[in-house]
Structures are given as structure tokens and as C-alpha cells.
Chain A
Amino acid sequence: MAKQLIRVKVNGRDIERAVEPRLLLVHFLREELDLTGTHIGCETSHCGACTVDLDGRSVKSCTVLAVQCDGAEVATVEGLAQGGVLHAVQEGFYQEHGLQCGFCTPGMLMRAYRLLQENPDPTEEEVRAGMSGNLCRCTGYQNIVKAVLYAAAKLREAHKAEEKIAA
């Protein structure tokens, strides 16, 4: 199959690749770029294990073609920690025991990351609804919800501190 050239920014890095038009984004990330943090649980857009950030929205990368991402920005779990410091959502999952087998975790983290930008101060209900595109078979969600709320509080605090410094 004729390949097509795409340019994508992945976790801040510019990538240029020739890909088959049918190549899924999730396979592009995992197999072409060796970013195996993004997982595949169903390939039918139900489980959310493959959730990544695409131009500021959560998408299920098993249901997006790599060629659709030409010119776009993609963020994956590997891009969350900055300068060796865990992102608040990562810390939240660790502190609140929000993971067990860890297979759903990258998708959960990426969804939580986006959710907290959409709604920085969510209620428990809003977290549950906002995370409902991501399935977990191990945790029963209770600690995932806590983890997201932990991260929300932490991000709000950091934000306040930043504003103080700016003012």
C-alpha cells in the first residue's frame, strides 16, 4: 500500500514519517515510535486504554488513523512527567492506590490530565462521568476517583501559587 508522509508533534517532538494510510494512531505510537505506554484493550473504542491527547482533546487512538494526525499535536503518558518530576495525575494515582495491574493506567492518566483542564474543580460525580470512557477491571474505580481529586487539588494549589508569584 502506498505510504503517505505525515508530520506530527508527539510529546513536543517533531516527527516526520511515511505511513500506510490504514495505520492506526495507536500502532503508529507503539510500533513506529516505540511509545508502548499507550495500550490496546479492545480496538473498538470501548475500553479507553489507548486514550491519548490529540490537539487538546482526549481521543481513543485505536480509532484514529495516523494520517488523520498530520499537522497535529499528540501527547501520551510518556510525555506527562516533566524534568523527572511526576505530573500531579501520576502522583495522585500513586498516592491513592489508583492502579493495580497498570494496564488501564496510561489511558486513565491521559484522560484525567485532559479532564482537569476541562474542569479544574470537579465533583466526585463529575470525575466519574468524565472518566467513564475508560474501563478498569482491577480497582473498582473508587481509588481512581480519589486519585483524580487528589490531582485536581494539587493542580489548583500550584495554580494559585503561580498566580501569587505573578501578582
Chain B
Amino acid sequence: MNAPIDRAAALAGIGQPRLRKEDARFVQGKGRYVDDIKLPGMVHMDIVRSPLAHARIKRIDKSAALAVPGVIAVLTAEDLKPLKLHWMPTLAGDVQAVLADGKVHFQMQEVAVVIAEDRYSAADGVEAVAVEYEELPVLVDALKALEPDAPVLREDLAGKTEGAHGRRLHPNHIFTWEAGDQAAADAAFEAAPVRVEEALFYPRVHPCPLETCGCVAAFDPVRGELTTYMTSQAPHVVRTVVSMLSGLPESKVRIVSPDIGGGFGNKVGVYPGYVCAIVASIVLGRPVKWIEDRIENLSSTAFARDYHMKGELAATADGRITGLRVHVVADHGAFDAMASPSKYPAGLFHVCSGAYDIPAAYARVDGVYTNKAPGGVAYRCSFRVTEAVYLIERLIDVLAQKLNIDKAEIRMRNFIRKEQFPYRSAFGLEYDSGDYAAALRKVLDAVVYPALRAEQAAKRADPASPSLMGIGLTTFTEVVGAGPTTSCDILGVGMFDSCEIRVHPTGSAIARMGTISQGQGHQTTYAQIVATELGIPSEEVQVEEGDTSTAPYGLGTYGSRSTPVGGAAVAMAARKIHAKAKKIAAHLLEVSEADLEWELDRFKVRGDPGRSKTMKDIAWAAYHEPPPGLEPGLEAVHYYDPPNFTFPFGAYLCVVDITKATGEVQVRRFYALDDCGTRINPMIIEGQIHGGLTEGFAVAMGQKLDFDAQGNILGNTLLDYFLPTAVETPRWETDYTVTPSPHHPLGAKGVAESPHVGSIPCFSSAVADAFAHLGVTHLEMPHTAYRVWQTCRELKLAA
């Protein structure tokens, strides 16, 4: 028998930096992404889109398009009407036009689709469709949406004063959502000797995964079955939606998410293109492929953020926060297609009291319609958590500055202390665990914080210095792993997740999951959980997800759900198998279960170390000679309903140097400490953190989807929309602490989104800090050289 230490290494279970199983296919060009799928008889679909942001459609002339060689069909809303598919429900309780029904509500909205033999003729067909529009006044500014004379966007909702989330106050109003205790917060502000307030605009950005969205819909008219390959982060939910919309029984609808080239929230929703491709396939009886191009992706599929926030803090003279008040105007675009648990129209924004012990808090969010694309998704974050963290982290900096207290010190004074967990926030969230002060202390020590501040002071004292130095700090908590089915559902389906494990007679295993990887390495990490729980080497554990006809129902991967919910389901399913295995082992060893102890991959008889049965022996016995009264086989399924969210946290520090003459911001140093509880695969965690930090850098330093007054989207190509290259991207330093979640079976909390959520305010904190000695409290994102240079000019630092 090998020593336990060798056997543990052979298992490659939890905690091991195991290399990724999925890489072999990807490095050889053998991934299978949706555009790689080619079915016999397949045709291609392309979309006619509106050049205008708000207009009536007077006429659509298909004739020239139908005459284009290769074009098979052109569909408009009129063609979808008889099927009642010209509108579709959104995940947020609104409806969205599949193809524009009489009017367009945003530039690049879907107006018609062309189906043709190949993608080139489909594109020719799109050019040839003639649409006549009559322009309407355009609403771009969300802050003007509720003005009495604002143009009314959603005529289809005329007279509807109740929406999915209560009363609508104006034809352009979607919902009001409130959290916390307004009276208590107001009282705290009345009594407070110190108050600060800041208006913060979180610009509209786009997740922009490297692969755009697309699908291949294949209806089999003989069997009456629909198979759709789709870039979906939530294939099971999509199947339910497709079944509801099409009237096909759910058992005859199969959604397959193949390899996905990044999602970051962009691939959660159901887009008009998917619906049209499915309809076209049903009508034509041929497989239909639709792949959007990058411009379409940036202009029409789900954006993120677009939050106009006003925040206030009340505090004591020594910087203890006593109250928080927030009001947000949320620009949801033309249709409310935000993807979020349905009871939370502002997601989990109420984590905006952050890592701080704030006794009284109140937040109100008003969602409004504008002539822009729908969305409001969680771009590499849990629902609206990025906005919440940005708000509180910027506000606490502003307060520190007003009181002339160091940023690190003011945080230390306000942290929820370790012994306060589980901690109920003023907004009613129950934080599971944390040690915020220890995390911050570790970071400050690592970077030698006092030395940095001394260097900055010297620089500030020297007016001849060509550059400014800024130090940014964030100490944040996330709220992820949606979520408990008592409060979280999507279209009524509770937000559990699932795992089904089958151990084969020879001792290898397959785990099928309700989640779906878009690069997170699920095939590797879930196998590691099985390895540790069941003593089967992770190399011998196959992980499958994404095919609704084989995988158990799950809500998918977004909002850092996979480890908190899916990973827990793996552990729980494995434990069911473990329990049965123990019975079999007791039978084989002719002892009682109480006499057995588990060691890595085997049950041993207590006090008789020579007698043991490995999981491999047990697996064989499960099929070969199951104990009397016990079902043969060795498999289990578990639907995990999390008792609570998990709260990963971190402390980040950033040092920037800003060239006064040009406004260029150089990130000199970025130190990120994350605590995601139990760490399943440190290599993958580090990779996720690098990626999240880089996406955070992109948002803070350059990403913004801008519009002109006519609602023209400015910059919807990669020429304009900022995706950093290896040259701009800073070097990342990472660190960690481990505070397990007390309610998660493995103690894990989820990680991939913290770095995005935590880094963005850190960059803003650093940039504002560079100008703090000149009275600047806050500068709006993105911190492009041009905008920073403008600040330098205003402050007479640059010519």
C-alpha cells in the first residue's frame, strides 16, 4: 500500500494546483464552439437592424432581398405574429420585441431576419431589405426619462400603471425598489455631525466576451424535436423559456451549450436572434445558424451598469459611519431584460453597506426606459454588486478625505469585526464570515504602506515633479452564490443547482452538472471535489455540463454561482455515494459501519489497519455483489438549495503614477488579496483573479458605451471599445487569506468576480487620490488619458 501522502497526490483533489483537463482540446484547435458546428442542410441567418434609435416603421420591402441569389426567406414581425412570437417575455418580467413591431426603440434593434444558403448571401440579403422609418424624438438621458414631457417609449405598455415590481410612476418608469429603513437612516443623518455626499455615474459598459453570441437551431419535423446549440450561460432556463414560447413539450426541446468563448454575463439572456433562428428552423425544417458579429454584440446584446447613483454618508467626527442613503436612477434601456433573481429588480445592490458596520441604511433604485439596448446584466459580478461596491468604496474615501483621516485607518475603524459574524447588515443580508481587518493589515504590510505615503508626500511637496502619485484602496465584500430558493428564482424556478455522479463498476466516475463553464475550468475543479470526497483520482472523473438532455436541471453559471452552489451540489451528491459505499464496505469487511474509518480513498477497519476496501473495490462490489437489501449501482443526484449567499471578500491596493503633461495613468503596482474561503484549485483561482483584475482595469480605465443625442451608439467596434492588450495590462500581485464559509459544505465562497468588483473602485480611488491634495474627491470613470489630462488642465497642472 502506498503511503497516504502519495495517494493524496495521486488523487489531485481539493487544494491541488491541478493542470486543466480542458486544455488539451483547446491548444490543438479542437474546441467545439457554436460557430464550429456544421449540420447537414444548414442555412444561415443574418439580421436587419435599425439605424435609428426611435422611429416608426412605415414599410418593409422584402422583394429585392428575396431576389438575391441564395436568399431563402425574410421574416419580419408580421410573419411572427400568427405564431405569437413577435414579442417575448424577458427574465425581468417585461416583454421585448423579437422583431420590431411597428416601431424601433433603440439603434441596432432587430427589424427583420434573412435566411440564406450561406453567410455571404445572407449578408447580401440584409443589405437589400428596404425599411422606411419615421423618426421620433429620442430619449437618451436616463435622468430626463421621468420628466413630464419626455418622449414616451413603450407605447405597448400604455395605461399599465403596475409593472412586474409594483407601481410605475411614469410611462418611462419601470420600477421602484427600496431596501433598508428610511426613517432610521434619516434619523442618523439628522443626528450626525459629519455628512458627505457624492454623485457617481457608473457608465454603460459591455462584457464583450471574445466569442460573440450565436446559435444553431435544428428542428426535426419528423420527430418533432428541437435541438439548439447555443452560447448560453443558462441552458436549462433557456429550454424552459423555449418550451413556454414554442409550445413544444420541454422533453422535446434540447439546448446544448458547447464550449463557450467567455460569457461574463453577456450570455445569460435569451436574445431575439435565438428566437428567430429557432422559428426559422421550425418553419423551414432545416438547421439555421446565427452568429452575431462584434458590432452587433456590442450594440444589441446585454450591456451592464448604467447606474446614476447619489450616495450620502453620515458619520461621527472621528469617522465612524452612522448612516448611509442612496438613490439610483437605473438606465435599463428600451426593454427591461436585466438578468437577475426575479424578486430583485436591482439585484443584490443592497450589499452597498459594504464591509462596514453601518447601523442605519436606506437605498432606493428607480429603473427607467431609454432608447438604448436592453440589458443590465452582471458583468463579471453578482447582480449589481459591482455598482454597490463602487458606491460605498468611493463614499468612504470621500469621507476620509473630508475628515483628513487616512483611507486605511477609516476602514479599520468601520469594519464589521471578525467576532460579529454571522452579521446582519442594515439591509437585512446575513454575512456568513469574514476577517476584513486581517486582510487589510496583510496588504498594508506587504506593500509597506507608510513608505508609499511618505513617497507621495515628497512628490506632492515638489511642484517641479512631472508626475502625480496616487494610492488607491478598497476593502470589499461580495455577495454571491444566488441563491436560496426561498428568495431567489428565475421565472419561478428556484436558484438551486445540481450534480449527478455515477461511479462506474471499474471505479472511474462521471459527474453531470447543471452549471456551464465559459472558461472557469469546471471540468478540472469539480473533478477535484469528487476526488477528495470519494477517493477517485480526479484524472478518472469526467465532468459533463451544458446538454439539457443529459445534465440535471440547473440554473447555470453567472454571479459566481458555480462553486457556491454547483460545487456544493458535487460535495453533497458525493456524500450520498460515500454513505452507500460505507455500507458496502462494511458488508465486504464483515464489520459494522461504526467500525470503519475513511482515509483518502478507502475505508479501513478501526484498529486493524491491514483490512480495508478502496473505493475501486467498493465500486466493483456495488455492481457485482451488493449487500442484501441494498440496490445495486453507485450513483446519486443532489439538488443543492443554498441556505444563504456566500460573502467572499478582499483588500486591494493600487499605486498609480500620472503624467501631468499628458494625463496618462501608469499602474505601478496592484496588490490584490482575496479571501474566497476554501481554495479548490489555487492555479485556477489565480488565473480567475488575473482575468477579473484585467476586466476591472478595462472598465475603470477605458470602457464606456456612449451615445449621442440622437441615440447613435458611439464606438461599437473594438477600435473604440477598450479591451486592453498585454502592453497596457498591469502586472498583478496576488495574495490570500482563508476564511471558510460556515454554511457551505466545503467552506468555499466563489472567486471569479471579486477581482472585477474590487478592482474598479480601487483604480478610481488611486486616480482621485493623486489629486486629493488639490481638493479633488472623485473623478468619473473611465480614467482615460484625455479625461485625466482635462483634470490636470483644470487644476493648472498641464498646459
Contact = CB atoms under 8 A, between A and B. Distances in A.
Interface in A64-106: 76-78, 80-81, 86, 90, 93-95, 97, 99-106
A90 B19 CA distance: 13
Interface string B26-41: 1111110101101000
A89 to B, nearest CB: 8
B151 interface: no
A86 B27 contact: yes
B695 interface: yes
B694 A105 contact: no
Contacts of B28: 37, 77-78, 80-81, 86, 90
Contact of A137 (B31, B294, B723, B727): B723
A95 B30 CA distance: 18
A109 B27 CA distance: 8
A94 B19 contact: yes
Given A132-B725, A135-B725, A100 B691 contact: yes
B264 A137 contact: yes
A40 interface: yes
From A22, A36, A42, A93, residue with most partner B Cβ within 10 Å = A42
A47 interface: yes
From B26, B259, B686, B727, residue with most partner A Cβ within 10 Å = B26
Nearest to A148: B726
A93 B731 CA distance: 18
B27 A94 contact: yes
A42 B27 CA distance: 20
B210 A49 contact: yes
Nearest to A125: B727
B38 A38 contact: no
B726 A101 contact: no
Contact of A93 (B23, B262, B691, B695): B23
A122 B669 CA distance: 23
Contacts of A93: 23, 27
Contacts of B690: 139-143
Given A22-B120, A97-B684, A132-B725, A47 B29 contact: no
Interface in B380-420: none
A35 B209 CA distance: 22
Interface string B104-128: 0000000000000001100000000
B770 interface: no
B376 to A, nearest CB: 20
B425 interface: no
A131 interface: yes
A41 B212 CA distance: 7
A25 interface: no
A138 B29 contact: no
A118 to B, nearest CB: 16
B164 interface: no
B20 interface: yes
A151 B19 CA distance: 17
Nearest to A23: B120
Contact of B726 (A23, A105, A132): A132
Interface string B255-296: 000011110100000000000000000000000000001100
A145 B718 CA distance: 22
A41 to B, nearest CB: 5
Contact of A103 (B33, B692, B729): B33
Given A49-B210, A103-B210, A128-B726, A42 B294 contact: yes
A104 B25 CA distance: 13
A142 B732 contact: yes
A44 B210 contact: no
From B29, B293, B691, B718, residue with most partner A Cβ within 10 Å = B29
B120 A140 contact: no
A37 B30 contact: yes
Nearest to B23: A94
Contacts of B518: 101
Contacts of A105: 26-27
Contacts of B262: 100-101, 103, 137-138
Interface in A113-134: 127-129, 131-134
A99 B26 contact: yes
B719 interface: yes
A100 to B, nearest CB: 4
A140 B729 contact: yes
B687 A97 contact: yes
Contact of A44 (B119, B261, B718): B718
B717 A101 contact: no
Contact of B210 (A47, A81, A97, A129): A47
From A99, A105, A141, residue with most partner B Cβ within 10 Å = A141
A46 B717 contact: yes
Contacts of A131: 725-726
A162 interface: no
Contacts of A14: none
Contacts of B422: none
B23 A135 contact: no
B486 to A, nearest CB: 33
Interface in B180-239: 208-212
Interface string A30-64: 11001111111111101101000000000000000
B313 interface: no
A140 B261 contact: no
Interface in A142-156: 142-145
A10 interface: no
A160 B788 CA distance: 50
Given A36-B29, A44-B717, A100 B520 contact: yes
From A77, A81, A101, A133, residue with most partner B Cβ within 10 Å = A101
A109 B293 CA distance: 23
B210 A137 contact: yes
A8 interface: no
Contacts of A137: 208-210, 262, 264, 691, 695, 723
Contacts of B729: 140-142
Contacts of A81: 28
Nearest to A34: B38
A16 B686 CA distance: 46
Contacts of A40: 35
From A36, A40, A105, A140, residue with most partner B Cβ within 10 Å = A140
B49 to A, nearest CB: 16
From A20, A35, A37, A80, residue with most partner B Cβ within 10 Å = A37
B732 A140 contact: yes
Contacts of A20: 120
A95 B687 CA distance: 13
B210 A135 contact: yes
B693 interface: yes
B29 A127 contact: no
Nearest to B520: A100
Contacts of B691: 100, 137-140
Nearest to B35: A40
Contacts of A95: 19
A102 B26 contact: yes
Given A101-B211, A101-B260, A103-B33, A141 B718 contact: no
Contact of A101 (B24, B210, B212, B293): B210
A46 B727 contact: no
Contacts of B38: 31, 34
Contacts of B725: 128, 131-135, 141
Nearest first, the 4 A-B pairs at minimum CB distance are: A37-B29, A103-B261, A101-B519, A102-B26
Given A77-B28, A80-B28, A134-B725, 19 more contacts: A27-B119, A39-B35, A41-B212, A41-B261, A46-B717, A49-B210, A81-B28, A94-B19, A99-B27, A100-B519, A101-B210, A103-B519, A132-B725, A135-B210, A139-B691, A139-B694, A140-B692, A141-B690, A142-B729
8 contacts: A37-B28, A42-B294, A42-B717, A99-B27, A103-B519, A128-B725, A132-B726, A144-B726
Interface of A: 20, 22-23, 27, 30-31, 34-44, 46-47, 49, 76-78, 80-81, 86, 90, 93-95, 97, 99-106, 109, 127-129, 131-145
